[in-house]
Structure 1
Amino acid sequence: METRPMRADARRNYERLVTTARTAFTEHGTGASLDEIARRAGVGSGTLYRHFPTRDALLHAVLRERIDGLLGHADALLAEPDAEAALARWLRTYLAGASTPRGTCTVIIEAMGTEWAGTGLGAAAGAIRTALGRLLDRAQRAGAVRAEVDPGDLLRLANAIGVASERTPDPGACTDRMLTLLFGGLRAG
């Protein structure tokens, strides 16, 4: 089915909703009121739901650029000579980005479930898992990470670190401590 380009006013409403949602999600977490987002964007709730039938569709639109950057970063890190360091750098970058808006790690964990297949967030979680899997596989082949570690499990662990860290006074320091512990358990040998 061919999709028609958006009218100029519809495009402006779409962009205003994404910008406003980005701010609201940053201020109030991923559970921010959709009606309030529509109000702050200067549109009715019907306009919001025409563009974004679910909260997850709006959240995916807000996170899309960041996810694309994260996937590109994973590709670039595949050229790093130290496979374990590349994996660790990517996980740090992932968690730094996933800390805002608050609740993003929980959303990604949920989006990894089969009931999310066919959704934007489900596809994003799958792409993130695949990118992490390539970095993990490389670290495993280099003998730096235990062979039995699964990329889905590692992504769940990383998101659990993100959820725990966002509830501390210094999320960055907590993330670093937890990743150090995680890598202590991942190392082969």
Structure 2
Amino acid sequence: MTEEKPLRADARRNRAKVLEAAETVFAAKGTGAPTEEVAREAGVGIGTVFRHFPTKEALLEAVLYARLHRFVDEADAVVAQNAADAGAAFFTFLTSWVEMSSAKNAYFEALTTAGVCVPSTGSEIGERLRASLGVLLKRAQDSGAVRADLTTAELIPVIIGTAKAAEHVGADGPLRDRTIAILFDGLRA
């Protein structure tokens, strides 16, 4: 196995610009948006995009991993804060997870359809996320904000279901927020 050479500074900047542009374009137009549009948004040529990401699937996968890593870093930061209101921290984190899941699901679907293996809950990312969720859940339970009989293993499918419910109502913000609130009420002590 050969070691990859580190990218030059300008190549790193271009790669970062392409990833940022891809997130913007895919968020606005969906994962089916053309790669040429990503190149235009990034202010680079299409060759630069393909030099860093040889296929559209490779670009989608890189965007997905970047989003997941950012989200897990945010989860770790929430855990590190040890907020005074553990219940509010817990429900704020769950809400951000639901919001992130909608975009994540679109990437997973596009990649799975293309036959690309995507990270699972058993991956390093999934393990870190589960650990952070466990800490936040325990703190919220200890504070009396969340029912004591709930486990992390039970909570994850609830979050997935809530994310699917939020996706189902789509752009209707008030209905989405009300749906999430009703589902989260079932978690309260």
SS at match of 1:49: coil
Alignment partner, residue 29 of structure 2: 28
Confirm or deny: 8 A CA contact 1:105 1:159 kept in the other structure. Answer: no
Deviations 1:42-80 (A, max 9, x none): 233641138x8463233222554454234313432x232
Q: Is the contact made by 1:139 and 1:145 (CA closer than 8 Å) also made in structure 2?
A: yes
Taking structure 1 as reference, are residues 34 and 56 closer, same or farther at Cα in structure 2, changes over 3 Å only? Answer: farther
Number of aligned positions between the proteins: 178
What is the match of residue 56 of structure 1?
61
Q: Is the 8 A contact 2:98 2:163 kept in 1?
A: yes
1:42 matches 2:45? yes
CA contact (8 A) 1:18 1:62 kept: no
Provide the residue aligned with 1:177 in structure 2: 178
Alpha-carbon distance between aligned partners in 2 of 1:46 and 1:88, rounded to the nearest angstrom: 40
Which deviates further from its counterpart, 166-175 or 7-16? 166-175
Contact 1:165 1:171 in 2 (8 A): no
Q: Which stretch of the first structure deviates more once superposed, 144-153 or 9-18?
A: 144-153
The equivalent of 2:74 in structure 1 is 69
The residue identity in structure 2 corresponding to 1:140 is Q
Superposed displacement of residue 131, structure 1 = 1.5
In 2, Cα distance between the equivalents of 1:117 and 1:169? Answer: 25
Using a 3 Å threshold, how does the CA distance of structure 1 residues 19 and 49 change in structure 2: closer, same or farther?
A: same
Q: Report how far residue 135 of structure 1 moved.
A: 0.8
Instruction: Give the aligned residue type for 1:104.
Output: K
Q: Which residue of 2 aligns with 1:116?
A: 119
Q: Which of 70, 73, 79 is equivalent to 2:83? A: 79
| Structure 1 unaligned spans of 5+ | none
Tell me if the contact between 1:75 and 1:131 (Cα under 8 Å) persists in the aligned partners: no
Kindly indicate whether residue 55 of structure 2 is the aligned counterpart of residue 90 of structure 1: no
Distance (Å, rounded) in 2 between the aligned partners of 1:117 and 1:159? 13
Letter in 1 for 2:76: L
Distance verdict in 2 for CA 1:87–1:138, change over 3 Å: same
User: What is the alpha-carbon distance in structure 2 between the residues aligned to residue 62 and residue 86 of structure 1?
Assistant: 21
CA shift digits 1:107-137 (9 cap, x unpaired):
6899xxx973699xx4333322222211101
Structure 2-normalised TM-score? Answer: 0.68
| Separation in structure 2 between the aligned mates of residue 62 and residue 89 of structure 1, nearest angstrom | 18
Question: What value does the CA root-mean-square deviation take over the aligned residues?
Answer: 3.8
Residue 172 and residue 75 in structure 1: after superposition, are their counterparts in 2 closer, same or farther (change >3 A)?
A: farther
Give the TM-score taking structure 1 as reference length. 0.68
Separation (CA, whole Å) in 1 of partners of 2:172 and 2:131: 26
- Tell me if the contact between 2:94 and 2:159 (Cα under 8 Å) persists in the aligned partners: yes
Task: Using the TM superposition, give the Cα deviation of residue 33 of structure 1 relative to its aligned residue in structure 2, in angstroms.
Answer: 4.4
Q: What is the aligned partner in structure 2 of residue 104 from structure 1?
A: 104
- Give the corresponding residue for 1:136: 137
Identical columns (%): 31
